[in-house]
Structure formats: C-alpha cells, structure tokens
C-alpha cells in the first residue's frame, strides 16, 4: 500500500505530507477499491505474458479457495493467479509481474488460461477527491511550487473534474448464492 500512497501523494503534490497524512490518503484510496474475482487474463501471442483489464493492484501474497468456492485471503489484500475459475483451481506463481500495469510474466510458454483474484485501486478517483477537498477549503493556498517551477491555479474543482473524467466506468455485478 505504501507505493500507492506515495504515488497519490506525488499526484496531489503533497510529497512533504503537509496536507494529508498517510492514513487520510489510504482512506481516499480505499473509497475506490475494487475486489477482482476470477478475471480471465488475456495472453499474448508468445504465451508468456498475461494481461489484466485493470491495473493499480495492491499486495502480492496468497489466497486459498475453500471447498465451497470461497476465497480466503491470508493477511493483507492479495493477488492470486489460478489455472481455473472453479473451486478445484490451483494457484499459479508468475516469474515476474507489474502491479501498476497489471501484467504477469512467465519464463516459458504456458499455453493455458489463467484467472486473477486481486484488489485494485482507482487512483484517479482518489486524486479527484483530494482536489475536491482542497476546493472546499477557502484558506488553502492555490499556489504550488516545485523546484523552480511555480504553478498558480484558481479552481481545484477543474482538476477534480479532470481526474473524474479519467475514471473508468463503474460496472456493478450482483449475484445471489444459494446454500442448501
């Protein structure tokens, strides 16, 4: 989570922690958290790199699936690759991965379908909320300085709207499980 907070802190120009604490920024990020459940990854033509439609993942530990098909997370939010979408699937460990872009690489050809369980964050929504908070504070300076560059901006809501426009569309999937 530390790298996500640092990235958000950089985007909102608060690297000196003068405006938000790490806990406050994590709350903004948590507001835009998504739980990914068995997303079918797209494989490249070489059958070595598998791509997710989503990025900005957090964590890289493991998860287990119980006999009922429920994922049991161990510790922090996780990323887990599976060789199937059912309860009999086996967890697969990639040789390399990029949590920002959402790709997973193997050293040899795999020629299989892999599925992803993960926790992802929409950094654009978090930036938009931070900028909206600044806009609501009439005492907050509207001038930023970084090195020799000084930026004066009169409307933080414009920045907030810009980052909201970069957010992906929200899709809600509702399912009902019946247990007998």
Average pLDDT over residues 67-95: 71
Average pLDDT over residues 114-142: 83
Output the six-digit token pair for 42. 């797209």
pLDDT in tens, 144-167: 666 776 666 667 788 888 888 888
Average pLDDT over residues 95-124: 85
Domain ranges of the chain: 1-32+122-170, 33-121
Work out the number of other CB atoms within 10 angstroms of the CB of residue 57.
24
- Look at residue 154 and give its three-state secondary structure: coil
Output the six-digit token pair for 175. 């399912």
Q: Is the pLDDT of residue 126 over 50?
A: yes
Q: With bands split at pLDDT 50, 70 and 90, how would you rate the model's confidence at 73?
A: very low
* pLDDT given for residue 66 in this prediction: 55
Torsion sign, CA atoms 95, 103, 49, 73: positive
pLDDT in tens, 24-47: 999 999 998 888 888 899 888 877
Q: Is the pLDDT of residue 107 over 60?
A: yes
* pLDDT given for residue 89 in this prediction: 84
Residue with tokens 């900028």: 131
* pLDDT given for residue 77 in this prediction: 45
Average pLDDT over residues 85-97: 83
Output the six-digit token pair for 30. 């948590």
pTM: 0.68
Residue with tokens 């950094």: 123
* pLDDT given for residue 27 in this prediction: 92
Cβ atoms 115, 85 nearer than 8 A: yes
Separation of alpha carbons 79 and 90, rounded Å: 14
């Amino acid at each position: 989570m530390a790298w996500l907070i640092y990235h958000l802190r950089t985007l909102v120009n608060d690297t000196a922690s003068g405006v938000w604490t790490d806990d406050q920024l994590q709350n903004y990020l948590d507001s835009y958290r998504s739980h990914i459940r068995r997303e079918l990854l797209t494989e490249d033509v070489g059958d070595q790199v598998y791509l997710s439609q989503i990025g900005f993942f957090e964590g890289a530990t493991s998860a287990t699936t119980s006999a009922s098909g429920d994922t049991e997370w161990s510790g922090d939010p996780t990323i887990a690759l599976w060789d199937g979408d059912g309860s009999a699937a086996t967890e697969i460990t990639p040789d390399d991965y990029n949590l920002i872009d959402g790709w997973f690489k193997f050293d040899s050809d795999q020629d299989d379908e892999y599925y992803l369980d993960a926790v992802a964050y929409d950094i654009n929504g978090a930036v938009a909320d931070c900028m909206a908070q600044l806009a609501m504070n009439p005492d907050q300076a509207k001038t930023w300085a970084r090195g020799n560059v000084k930026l004066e901006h009169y409307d933080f809501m414009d920045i907030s709207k810009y980052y909201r426009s970069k957010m992906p569309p929200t899709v809600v999937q509702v399912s009902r499980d019946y247990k007998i």
